[in-house]
Chains A and B, each alone.
Chain A
Amino acid sequence: MKSLAELQQLRDKISKQVDLRKDRENGIRIVVGMATCGIAAGARPVMNAFLNEVSKRGLSDVTVTQTGCIGMCRLEPIVEVFMPGEEKVTYVHMNEEKVARIVAEHIINKQPVAEYTVGAVQE
């Protein structure tokens, strides 16, 4: 059973990690569209899958956040990846299987998954 005592242990572990906030400011941002259109298309499990991957792999310089509707509702769920010094990459029609591949290939190995991007879908 999960208890607040257990949470405090987790807190102590995390606060020992190197300067969390500084890591986050200079790091990679993964932004998931979470408006009505995104939610209806399946954005919640996609966001949770990103959280899981980031937490499992201990990627302390990666932040997962949310945004509203960016006006391409037919392509939802949409995920944008911002890497320092790189152009933004927009992934469309996202699902949980695509998440694992994007984290491994793009977030960790810095090679965007071209076939999942908005450019590939709209051609």
Chain B
Amino acid sequence: MKELSLHILDIVQNSVKAGASEIEIDINEDILKNLLEIDITDNGCGMSEEFLKTVKDPFSTTRTTRKVGMGISLFEAAAVQCGGYLEIESEQGNGTSLKVFFEYDNIDRAPLGNMAETMITVIMGAPDINYVYKHRKAGKEFVFVADDIKNALGGVPIDSPEILNWVKEYISEGLENAGINM
């Protein structure tokens, strides 16, 4: 994948399939420590200990249609190729947390890419979930909470095309104002 935001889009779908009602995406660009950290945490069904042991293996999947599942392995490869790593913690019934670390200035680190597009794509895929997106860089922070938008909308669905386009611009502008350029 060309952008880390595409991996995020892919991994969030695992949380959706795990039946999560809240998914938090936390991005921290710590330039002083030369570290980029991406955390994705959900309150879905979690994994058994046995499945957790094999989950990074591309031939490990919960799918029944075929025997491969590449999402987590690809994200891990994107981290490892630039001196980083991927950790997963999960408890059955209590959700899953995935943390991925990257060397910030490594030449092989893929760019973060378009987070606004990733956010509206996940909202569209499962609009009932409360997505919380926090992005920190150089002491500044941008926070997006999908339920705040839904409350402001009253009954109008958040996945109406006009609303999604508005949300995309809202996130892009918010990131820009926090000095986070995509």
A positions within 8 Å CB-CB of B: 1-2, 4, 6-8, 10-11, 14-15, 20, 34-37, 39-40, 44-45, 47-48, 51-52, 54-55, 64-66, 69, 71
B93 at the binding interface (Cβ < 8 Å):
no
B64 at the binding interface (Cβ < 8 Å):
no
**A40 nearest in chain B by CB position:** B1
4 cross-chain pairs, A with B, having the tightest CB-CB distances, nearest first: A55-B161, A2-B170, A54-B161, A11-B156
Q: List 18 A-B contacts (CB under 8 A).
A: A2-B169, A4-B149, A7-B149, A7-B170, A11-B154, A15-B155, A34-B9, A34-B121, A36-B70, A39-B6, A39-B10, A44-B6, A44-B9, A44-B114, A51-B124, A51-B165, A55-B164, A64-B161
Residues of A within 8 A of B168 (CB): 48
B positions within 8 Å CB-CB of A: 1, 6, 9-10, 13, 65-66, 69-71, 74, 114, 117-118, 120-121, 124-125, 148-149, 152-157, 160-166, 168-170, 173-174, 177
Residues of B within 8 A of A40 (CB): 1, 6, 74
Please judge, given known A-B contacts A36-B10, A65-B124, whether A7 and B166 are in contact too, CB under 8 Å: yes
Contact A2 B173 (CB under 8 A): yes
CB distance from B63 to the nearest CB of A (A): 9
List 14 extra interface pairs beyond A40-B1, A66-B124, CB under 8 A.
A1-B173, A4-B149, A7-B149, A7-B163, A11-B152, A14-B162, A36-B69, A36-B70, A40-B6, A44-B114, A44-B118, A44-B121, A51-B161, A66-B121
Which residue of the partner chain, among A14, A35, A64, contacts B124 with CB atoms under 8 Å? A64
**B148 nearest in chain A by CB position:** A4
Residues of B within 8 A of A2 (CB): 166, 169-170, 173-174
Main secondary structure of the interface of A (DSSP, over half): helix
Residues of B within 8 A of A8 (CB): 152
Residues of A within 8 A of B170 (CB): 2, 7
